[in-house]
Structure 1
C-alpha cells in the first residue's frame, strides 16, 4: 500500500454557499420534528392567522431536506472517490477508516444519549408520547420496545430499517443506513469498472453489490445520491467560472424552479423524491458553475459554523424534543403566542445541545482518524484535513 501521508488529493476550493444549504437543511429537519412533536396538527388548530398558516406550511420539509443531504453527500464523498481513483491514491483501508470514524464519532454518543433521554422520559412521564399513541406522525412506535441491546448493535452496523427499527425514539437514524450503504456501493462499482483490481477489492465489491440486491428499498435514494456524483463529474469537465458575474442568473432562475418544486410538493401532496431531487440538482449545478459565494462575511462565518455541527444536530435533536414534549408539556400545544415562545426556546435549546455534542465528539473526528491510522499501520497519520473540509456538505 502507498504511504498514506501522500494519499490525500489536492484540496478543493471551499464553497460557503453549500455550507449554508447544508445548515438550512439540518435546520429544516429539526423544525419539522419540533412542529410535529410539540404542536397540534394543522387540522386541529383553531384561529390560525396568516403567520400561523405560513409556519405550518414551511415547517414540514424534513424529508425533503434529507434529499438535499443525499445530493450533497454524493457530490462530496463520491467526488472524492473519483478524484482519488483518478490520481491513483485510492485505498479501501483509508476510505473505510475515514467514513466509519466520521459516522461513529457522533453515532455512538448519539445512541447513548437516545438511551438516556428515552429511559428518563419513560420513567418520568411515559404515556402516549412514548407509546406512540399521541397522534403525531413522527412518533408511532412503543419506544421501550426499541431500546434493546440487539437494536443498538443493529443500528451501529447501519442495518436500521433493513433488519431492525431505528434505536429508541431516534427516527432520523433511518437515513444514516442509506448513507453508509451508498458510501460502500459507489466505490465498489468504481473499483469493478476500473483497471486496478485486487482480490480484496473484488471481495468488497461483491459484498457491496450483493447488499445492493438485498436492500432494494435503498435503491431510489441511491439514484439521488448518484446525481450528486454527477455534479462532481460535471464540475471537473466544466470548472467554475474564475470570476463570478454580478448577477448569477442561472442560479437565481434554477433556485426559483427549486422553490416552486418545493411548494408544489406541499400544495398537491406529491411524495416522489425526484420531483424535488432533479430541480435541486440543477440548482446546485448552477451554484457551482457560477461560483456563487456568500458576500457578507458574517453570513459566511455563520454558514460554516452551523454546517460544522449539522451532523450532531441531526442525530441528537429528536429524543431531546420528545423528552421535553412528554415531560414538560404532557400533550401537544396549539401554535399561538405561547407556542411561538416555545418554538423559539426549543430551537435555541436544540442548537445549543447539538453544539455541545459537536465540541465533545464531532470536532475530534480528525484526531480519531489519525489515531486509527497509527494503530493500523504504525505510520504517521494521513493528512485528512482536505477530505474533512470537502465532506462538510454531507449529512455526516
Structure 2
C-alpha cells in the first residue's frame, strides 16, 4: 500500500470486492460441496478452505458499514451544501437498486424454473441438507413474492424470491436508505410538516421491522466514519508503514477468526473492529500500490452488486443439473470451485455491462423530466455508493 493524494480510496474498493467474493465463495461451498463433517480425508488445505469459506454473512456486515460511509456520507455532504432534496435522492437510490434487481429477479426466475424442470429434487425442495437452501423454491416463484421483493419487503412480509436468498440484505439497505435521511433532516431542520412526516414514517417502520435495527446500527457506524473524517482529516504526510491500519487490520482479522472458532453470532463483534480498521485506512490515507492492483480493485468492485444479486440461483442450477448432488472437496473439487468461481464472475460481469454500468445514464435520463430537474443551485457532486451492496 502506498500514500497518495487522490480523493478516491481504492483500498475501500478492494475491501468491497473481497467482500463480494467472500459471499460468492461461501455460497459455492455450501451449495456444491458436502459439509465439513461429511468430507472424507481432506488435508490441511481442505480444512483451511472450509474455515475461510464461510464468511458470507460477515461480508454483508462490511457492506453495511461501507454503505453507511458512502450513501450516508453523501446525504451529510449535500445537506451541508444546501443541495439535498428527497426527489433527487430517491431517484438516484431507487434507480441504483432497481437497475440490477429487476434483471436479477428475472434471471432468478429463469434459472429456477429451468432447474426445477430439468432436475428438481432435493436441491429445489430444500432437502439436500445445505444450510443456504432449505425452502421449496417453486413456492417462492409467485407473482406476489416477485412484487414483494421489488418493494424491498422480503424477510419482512414475504420470503426472498425463488432461490435467491442473498436478496435478504437488499431489504435492509433500502430501509436504511430511507431511515437515515428522514431522521437527519428532522434533526437538522426541526420544522416543517414534511420533515416530521418522514421521521414519523421512519419511526413507525422501525417499530414494525425490529429485525433490521441491529444492521442499521452497523450502517450508522459507516456514517460516523464520515463525521470523524470531517473532524479529524486524513494525514497529509506519512513516513514508514501505516502502523495504525496494520494494527487495526490484525485486530479485525483476529475478530474474524474468533467468530469462527467460538461461534460468536453477534454481528457487532466483527462490525466494531471493521469500523476501527476502516477509520484507520481513511485517517492514514492508505491507497493501493502498484497501479495495476488499484485498477483491478476498482474494476471488481464496480460489478460487485451484480455479482451479489445474480450468483446464487446460477450456482444452484449448476449444482442440481450439472452434478445432482454435493461433491467432496478434493483435487477435482478444487478445480470445480475455481471453474465455478470464474463462471460466476463472467456471468456477473455480463450483467454489469448490460445493466449496472448504465446506472448514471438512466439517472440522467430520469432527471431530464421537468418534475425531477434540479435547478443550477441544486447541482452538486454526489458521493458515490461504491461501498453499498446496491
**Stretch deviating more after TM superposition (292-301 or 198-207):** 198-207
Counterpart mapping for 1:198-217 below 5 A:
198-217=192-211
The alignment of Structure 1 onto Structure 2 pairs a total of residues equal to 384
Structure 1: how far apart are the matches of 2:388 and 2:28?
22
Counterpart among 219, 239, 259 of residue 253 in structure 2 = 259
Q: Counterpart of 2:382? A: 387
Shift of 1:376: 4.8
Encode CA deviations 1:275-316: one digit per residue, 9 max, x unaligned: 000000000000000000001111000000000000000000
Structure 1: how far apart are the matches of 2:99 and 2:372?
22
Counterpart mapping for 1:238-253 below 5 A:
238-253=232-247
Matched, 1:275 2:279: no
Q: Counterpart of 2:22? A: 28
Counterpart among 133, 140, 155 of residue 134 in structure 2 = 140
Find the residue that maps to 1:163 and give its secondary structure. coil
Cα 1:291/1:144, change in 2 over 3 Å = same
Counterpart among 52, 62, 65 of residue 68 in structure 1 = 62
**TM-score normalised according to structure 2 size:** 0.96
Structure 2: how far apart are the matches of 1:310 and 1:378?
29
Structure 1: how far apart are the matches of 2:373 and 2:266?
48
Q: Counterpart of 2:76? A: 82
Counterpart among 68, 77, 87 of residue 93 in structure 1 = 87
Matched, 1:357 2:351: yes
Encode CA deviations 1:210-259: one digit per residue, 9 max, x unaligned: 10111000000000001111001000000111124320000000000000
Encode CA deviations 1:335-391: one digit per residue, 9 max, x unaligned: 001101100000000000000000000000011111111125374798999436x21
Encode CA deviations 1:173-202: one digit per residue, 9 max, x unaligned: 000000000000000110111126433333
Counterpart mapping for 1:11-26 below 5 A:
13-26=7-20
Structure 1: how far apart are the matches of 2:194 and 2:349?
39
Structure 1: how far apart are the matches of 2:12 and 2:389?
12
Cα 1:330/1:234, change in 2 over 3 Å = same
Find the residue that maps to 1:194 and give its secondary structure. helix
Structure 1: how far apart are the matches of 2:379 and 2:30?
39
Cα 1:378/1:256, change in 2 over 3 Å = closer
Structure 1: how far apart are the matches of 2:129 and 2:381?
45
Structure 1: how far apart are the matches of 2:62 and 2:224?
14
Encode CA deviations 1:132-184: one digit per residue, 9 max, x unaligned: 00000000000000000000000001000000000000000000000000000
Find the residue that maps to 1:134 and give its secondary structure. coil
Q: Counterpart of 1:9? A: none
Structure 1: how far apart are the matches of 2:380 and 2:137?
39
Counterpart mapping for 1:29-48 below 5 A:
29-48=23-42
Q: Is the 8 A contact 2:78 2:380 kept in 1?
A: no
Find the residue that maps to 1:159 and give its secondary structure. coil
Structure 1: how far apart are the matches of 2:192 and 2:29?
51
Matched, 1:226 2:223: no
RMSD of aligned Cα (Å): 1.6
Question: What runs of 5+ residues in structure 2 fail to find an aligned partner?
Answer: 1-5
Q: Is the 8 A contact 1:261 1:279 kept in 2?
A: yes
Matched, 1:52 2:46: yes
Counterpart among 366, 373, 380 of residue 372 in structure 1 = 366
Q: Is the 8 A contact 1:374 1:381 kept in 2?
A: no
Find the residue that maps to 1:393 and give its secondary structure. coil
**TM-score normalised according to structure 1 size:** 0.94
Structure 2: how far apart are the matches of 1:376 and 1:167?
35
Structure 1: how far apart are the matches of 2:85 and 2:350?
33
